[in-house]
Amino acid sequence: MSEKSRISTVQSNVNLTTLTNPGVDHTRSYSMLGFQETTLSIAAKTMRNALNNLVAEADEQDRKAFKLEMDNFYHLFTRYLSEKAKGEKLNWSKIKSPAPDQIKVYKDLPKCADNVKAEFLNKLAVLKLNGGLGTTMGCVGPKSAIEVRDGMTFLDLTVRQIEYLNSENNVNVPLILMNSFNTDEDTQKIIQKYTGHQVQILTFNQSRFPRVFKESLLPMPKNPKDENGKWYPPGHGDLFESLANSGLLDQLIEQGKEYLFISNVDNLGGSVDTRILQHMFTTGSEFAMEVTDKTKADIKGGTIIDYEGKVRLLEIAQVPSEHTDDFKSIKKFKIFNTNNLWVSTRAIKRLVEEQALNMEIIVNVKSTESGEKVIQLETAVGAAIKYFKGAHGINVPRSRFLPVKSTSDLFLITSDLYGLHHGELIMNPKREFNSTPLVKLGDHFKKVNGFLSRFASPPHILELDHLTVTGDVTFGAEVVLRGTVIIVANHGSRIDIPAGAILDDKVVTGNLRILDH
């Protein structure tokens, strides 16, 4: 679509929806409607001019790729303007629980016979979303470089999994990393250490879009080389276009790779499953989303719904405020999206070429250091489910969703609750319950370095149900936690749990110091 036609499309949409949208108060003066149309039309044209100026400033060797990126951003921006003009919200009354054929149950899928595993695996590529930084856990650089278990990082464990998969089945499943401009340089250095391993590592970058001032609707950067703080990676929904634009998608198709298995690099449960892979081939489905049963820890997670007869992903950002409690209800929405996705490569190519992937826009408002409001327009990869043929969810065991978003998660995966098998975390068979304990660690544990300094060794938690720790608390070696344990050190107090202590359904408060001598 040309720049001119994109502008006219937005203007046309604004005119149409403003005048014919049911529910509009027609007592409003048409001068107000005309003002809104004119404002959005001017915003589109002004943005186009600003982006053209940015492209003109790009180095000649980078200009073509940069222009394509800015065109993609402009398309997203004009969609945002159009949707803003419509003022449409999700019709809550049309939301239904998914029909039985829209959610398959993992245990009902046939196991994959050993003699056909290699055939299926040779048609697969694994893609990890590797665009995030470790800043929220107090780390510098890519989150995938954080050590999480036995001295191994997220990336180490991923490479180990794929290498074992390839060697055991005599196949070539490549590992693809979707980096962002925040993580690419460091990741390129890190992956050098995997040279000589039996795994092909490919990388590409997701887009770099300009942040937009909320009031003026103008881009922050004035030059393509402006500092990173003026740009943003537009969410993992950008995956499909970025993969196609990089040339990697065509390369995968030429190599006979028919499916991608996509997951977050920090989900240690997101490993290749041949039972699901076989299911994709036997059903011919173009898209499957792994979902799992929701617990109280997952109330904000996106869920699959039936909307006007089609399967869709519903994110909390799309939910009208008056229905937020409904969305968080475990009774009404019983499953949530793990972001483990199985997607047809040829279907991606078709939909990108048709420019059909117009996923719901998530408007993320941020503040600059000077206090100015800026917006980031983002999309989620799972929201593409409604565009693929035969798309459905697969309700998988909780073990396939082991994300590490905080040190509370890190506490679980470094404990005796799990063992490590060729890079894959396996729950300890001595754990009597399939569910994981609910763990809430306070601010003293928020950063990785602070967290590590407070444990002489990981506590034994095979019989733990719930742990809450707040305040200045440390743990000696070989501590055992069982049942529900709550430890609260009030401001100015400190609690040292002594080595070898057994806390079974205990509440510990006050001040307890263990002094070396």
Active site residues: 405
Q: What is the DSSP letter of 16?
A: H
Q: How far apart are CA 10 and CA 259, in angstroms?
A: 35
Torsion of CA 92, 98, 102, 108, to 10 degrees: 160
Tokens of 384: 């593409």
The string of DSSP codes covering 238-250 is: GHHHHHHHHTHHH
Q: How far is CA 239 from CA 1, 176, 200, 345, 516, in A?
A: 20, 12, 20, 12, 54
Ramachandran assignment for 74, one of left (phi > 0), alpha (psi -120 to 50 degrees), beta (any other): alpha
Q: Which residues are CB-contacts of 506 (< 8 A; sequence separation ≥ 6)?
A: 485, 486
- Residue written as tokens 């250490």? 193
Tokens of 237: 């929904």
Q: How far apart are the first and last CA of the chain?
A: 75
| Backbone φ, ψ for residue 194 (5° rounding) | -95, 5
Q: How far is CA 268 from CA 157, 337, 351, 412, in A?
A: 8, 15, 30, 12
Q: How far apart are CA 255 and CA 343, in angstroms?
A: 16
Q: Where are the beta strands (DSSP E) in 70-151?
A: 95-96, 103-105, 124-130, 147-149
| Backbone φ, ψ for residue 351 (5° rounding) | -70, -35
- Output Rg (C-alpha) for the chain, integer angstroms: 25
Tokens of 10: 């937005």
Q: How far apart are CA 162 and CA 197, in angstroms?
A: 10
Q: Report yes or no: 190 and 142 within 8 Å, Cβ to Cβ.
A: yes
Q: How far apart are CA 220 and CA 134, in angstroms?
A: 25
Torsion of CA 127, 399, 338, 376, to 10 degrees: -70
Q: How far apart are CA 402 and CA 267, in angstroms?
A: 5
Ramachandran assignment for 325, one of left (phi > 0), alpha (psi -120 to 50 degrees), beta (any other): alpha
